[in-house]
Structure 1
Amino acid sequence: MKKIFMLAAALVAMETAQAQSELSNASTTGRGGVQNTFVRDYQAIGVNPANLGFGAPTVSFTFLEGGLNVSSQAFTRTIIKDFSKIEDERTLAMEDRLRYAKAFTSDNVLNAGVDMNTFAIAVYLPKVGGFGFSNRQRILGHAGFNKNFSELLFLGQEAPVVQQTNEDERVYVHELFDGTELKASWVNEWNLSYGRKLVSLPAVAIYAGVGYRYLQGLALYELSAKDGEVKAYSASSPVLDFDYERYLDDPQFRYGGANNQLSPVGKGHGYDVGLSAEIAKTVKVSLSVTDMGSMRWSKNLLQGQDKGFYLSDIISAEEYDFEDVADVAQQIIDTALAFTPVNELKTDLPTRFRAGVGAKLGNKVEVGVDYVHALNNAPGNLSQDFFGLGVDVMPTSFFRFSTGVSTGAGEKLNLPIGIAFIAQSYEFGISTRDITAPLTENNPGASFAFAFLRFKIGNQESL
Structure 2
Amino acid sequence: MRFVTLILLAVFLFEIALGGDDKANVRGLGMAGATTVTSRTIDAIGINPALLAYMGIARGSEIKGRIIDAETKQPVPGAQVTIKNLNLSVRANFSGEFSLKNVSPGNYTVVVTQKGYETLVIKGFKVTPNSTIKGTIGISRKETAQETSVNFSELNFEVREQRPIIYNDNSSFTMSLVPQIGIGIGANFLSYNLYLDYFTGVDSAGERVPKYLTDDDKRKILDSFRENPGTLMSQIDVKMLNIAFPIKSVGIALGVRERVISKFGIPREFMEFMLYGNPPGSVYSYNLGIGGTWMREYSVSLGTKIPFDLIIIKNINVGVGVKFLQGFGYVGSDDLNLTFETADSSRGYEITASMKGVVKRAGVDFLDPEKKASFTPFPSPAGTGLGFDVGASVEVLGLFTAGLSITDIGSINWTKNAVIVSGDTTFKFSGYSTQEKIDSLKQSFEDYVNSPNRKKYEGFSTGLPTAIRFGVATDLKTLLPFFPGRMLISADYFQPIGNAHISFKSPKLALGVEWRLIGLLPLRAGISLGGFEGFALSVGTGINLPFMELNVATGNLNEVMPGGDLRHFSIATELRLKF
Structure 1 length normalisation: TM-score? 0.76
User: Does 2:577 correspond to 1:450?
Assistant: no
Q: Would you say the 8 A contact 1:289–1:352 is kept in 2?
A: yes
Distance 2:472 2:185 in 1: 29
* Structure 1 counterpart of 2:50, one-letter code: A
Question: Of 280, 286, 297, which residue of structure 2 is paired with 1:178?
Answer: 286
Q: Would you say the 8 A contact 1:199–1:207 is kept in 2?
A: no
1:326 is aligned to: none
Where 1:403 maps in the other structure, the secondary structure is: strand
**Relative to 1, partners in 2 of residues 1:311 and 1:388: Cα closer, same or farther, differing over 3 Å?**
farther
User: Does 2:496 correspond to 1:386?
Assistant: no
User: Does 2:463 correspond to 1:354?
Assistant: no
Question: Which structure carries more helix by proportion?
Answer: 1
Distance 2:306 2:559 in 1: 43
Question: Of 379, 382, 388, which residue of structure 2 is paired with 1:265?
Answer: 382
**Relative to 1, partners in 2 of residues 1:42 and 1:81: Cα closer, same or farther, differing over 3 Å?**
same
* Structure 1 counterpart of 2:173, one-letter code: V
User: Does 2:446 correspond to 1:342?
Assistant: no
Q: Would you say the 8 A contact 2:182–2:570 is kept in 1?
A: yes
Q: Would you say the 8 A contact 2:35–2:492 is kept in 1?
A: yes
Where 1:37 maps in the other structure, the secondary structure is: coil
Distance 1:291 1:308 in 2: 37
Question: Of 284, 294, 303, which residue of structure 1 is paired with 2:420?
Answer: 303
User: Does 2:532 correspond to 1:407?
Assistant: no
Q: Would you say the 8 A contact 2:51–2:393 is kept in 1?
A: yes
Q: Would you say the 8 A contact 1:236–1:242 is kept in 2?
A: no
Q: Would you say the 8 A contact 2:257–2:298 is kept in 1?
A: yes
Distance 2:198 2:256 in 1: 37
Task: Between 99-108 and 41-50, report the one with greater CA deviation.
Answer: 99-108
1:44 is aligned to: 44
Distance 1:332 1:366 in 2: 59
Distance 1:110 1:143 in 2: 5
1:416 is aligned to: 538
User: Does 2:403 correspond to 1:286?
Assistant: yes
User: Does 2:358 correspond to 1:231?
Assistant: yes
Higher relative contact order (CA 8 A, sep 6+): 1
User: Does 2:327 correspond to 1:217?
Assistant: yes
1:139 is aligned to: 260
**TM-superposed deviation, 1:403:** 0.8
Where 2:506 maps in the other structure, the secondary structure is: coil
**TM-superposed deviation, 1:259:** 11
Distance 2:466 2:559 in 1: 28
**Relative to 1, partners in 2 of residues 1:184 and 1:397: Cα closer, same or farther, differing over 3 Å?**
same
Structure 2 length normalisation: TM-score? 0.62
**TM-superposed deviation, 1:80:** 2.9
RMSD across aligned positions (CA) = 3.9
Higher Cα Rg, which structure:
2
Deviation digits for residues 325-362 of structure 1, max 9, x if unmatched? xxxxxx98996686524211111223222211111122
1:168 is aligned to: none
**TM-superposed deviation, 1:104:** 8.4
* Structure 1 counterpart of 2:40, one-letter code: R
Distance 1:176 1:344 in 2: 34
Deviation digits for residues 245-269 of structure 1, max 9, x if unmatched? 49xxxxxxxxx99999511112111
> How many residue pairs align between the two structures?
406
**TM-superposed deviation, 1:448:** 0.9
* Structure 2 counterpart of 1:52, one-letter code: L
Question: Of 387, 393, 412, which residue of structure 2 is paired with 1:276?
Answer: 393
**TM-superposed deviation, 1:227:** 8.3
Q: Indicate the percent of aligned positions where both proteins have the same amino acid.
A: 22
**Relative to 1, partners in 2 of residues 1:36 and 1:337: Cα closer, same or farther, differing over 3 Å?**
farther
**Relative to 1, partners in 2 of residues 1:93 and 1:415: Cα closer, same or farther, differing over 3 Å?**
closer
Distance 1:69 1:333 in 2: 36
Deviation digits for residues 397-454 of structure 1, max 9, x if unmatched? 2100011221122331211111111112111111111211234455722111111x21
**TM-superposed deviation, 1:77:** 4.4
* Structure 1 counterpart of 2:571, one-letter code: F
**Relative to 1, partners in 2 of residues 1:311 and 1:130: Cα closer, same or farther, differing over 3 Å?**
farther
**TM-superposed deviation, 1:160:** 0.6
1:372 is aligned to: 494
* Structure 2 counterpart of 1:134, one-letter code: G
Distance 1:199 1:233 in 2: 48
Distance 2:370 2:415 in 1: 14
Q: Would you say the 8 A contact 1:425–1:456 is kept in 2?
A: yes
- Unaligned ranges ≥5, structure 1: 14-18, 166-174, 247-255, 319-330, 458-463
